[in-house]
Amino acid sequence: MKNKRSFLLMATLIIFVLLPLAGAQKIGDQISYRDKIVVSSGETRDNVVTFGSDVVIEGTVRKNVFAVGGTITISGEVGDSVVGIGARIALKSTAVIKRDLVGLGGTIEKEPGFRVDGDTVYFKGSDISAKYLDKGFAGIFSLSLLPIILIFKLVNIIVWFLLAVVVASLFPRQMTFAASQVRTNFWPTLGTGLVAYVLFVFAIIVAALLCIILIGIPILLTLAMAGLAIKIFGKVALFYFFGESLSRSLHRPAVSPLGGALLGLLLISLIGFIPILGFLFTFVISLIGWGAVLRTKFGTTENWFRRSAPMPAVPPPPPTP
């Protein structure tokens, strides 16, 4: 389906469906990295999540199937959605998907008789740039520029690796506390980040205009430094959030602040390689990071914007006889 509704659906699935999958801890979940997953006939699983391995669904998956790379072969039933990023999805004639089928890159092969009750969304890698960019800018994703883009992304990953090491080593308690607020107050955190980012951009524009009379230069520098500090701390906190959630979903022991931040950096960096959606995902992550930092005052208080209850009045001491 090539329309605006399909694009919004796909973005929603990638950004918001991945979070609950990463936080899943039920026994019925199966998560793998480069190990083949087979749900045999008569077997039931809750979720199946894989990175670079093959998935064969002959039985029943109650909720979602999510794969990055590899193949997804379905001849059984999926109770929710199937999402493949750069994966080959093969639907046999007996396959049943009760919600949506989403393919970003890779291929979708269908045999007659399969059933998808929701929407089918499929974009080839080349189709994404052709659809959402004018022809004059389609060369951004051309093969000749891919090495430059790859080098830029790798340098960006190295820079964030160093920043994650510094923040997680110097402020582990504050970072983990800010990250915990994302899970407990997700929508307020996202809303705070969105409002703060809009106000910040407006303040930057005003300060840039004031540079004409020189007074705007120190204001602009101060705003830039504050924005950079918020961005770095917030994004590293989100690295830890994703890394810690992934570690828990894999039933691993408690991860250290530094280990969680680096694991989350790896996961977010992989998603960031996806054209268009990778940018959207990264932008939403930045907004959530802004909200987490401002609501917790860099991880030092539970909710900076909540008004404290007034102290109870202390009655005066009784008069001495």
pLDDT tens digits, one per residue of 18-72:
444 444 444 455 555 556 888 888 898 888 888 777 899 999 999 888 887 788 9
Query: What confidence score (pLDDT) does residue 116 get?
Result: 92
Query: What confidence score (pLDDT) does residue 146 get?
Result: 52
Threshold 0.85, pTM exceeds? no
Query: What confidence score (pLDDT) does residue 305 get?
Result: 66
Mean pLDDT split into 10-residue runs, the chain, 321 residues: 44 44 47 72 86 86 85 92 86 91 84 89 59 44 53 86 94 93 88 93 88 79 92 95 84 84 89 78 91 92 63 49 53
Query: What confidence score (pLDDT) does residue 52 get?
Result: 73
pLDDT tens digits, one per residue of 71-112:
899 999 999 889 887 788 999 999 999 988 888 777 889 999
Query: What confidence score (pLDDT) does residue 147 get?
Result: 55
Residue 66 corresponds to which amino acid? F
**Residue 80 φ/ψ, nearest 5 degrees:** -125, -115
SS3 of 309, please? coil
Query: What confidence score (pLDDT) does residue 12 get?
Result: 45
* Tokens (6 digits) for 59: 């039985």
Long-range contact pairs involving 180-186 (C-beta distance under 8 Å, separation at least 24) = 181/292, 181/295, 181/296, 181/302, 182/237, 182/238, 182/241, 182/288, 182/292, 183/23, 183/241, 183/245, 185/295, 185/303, 186/288
SS3 of 303, please? coil
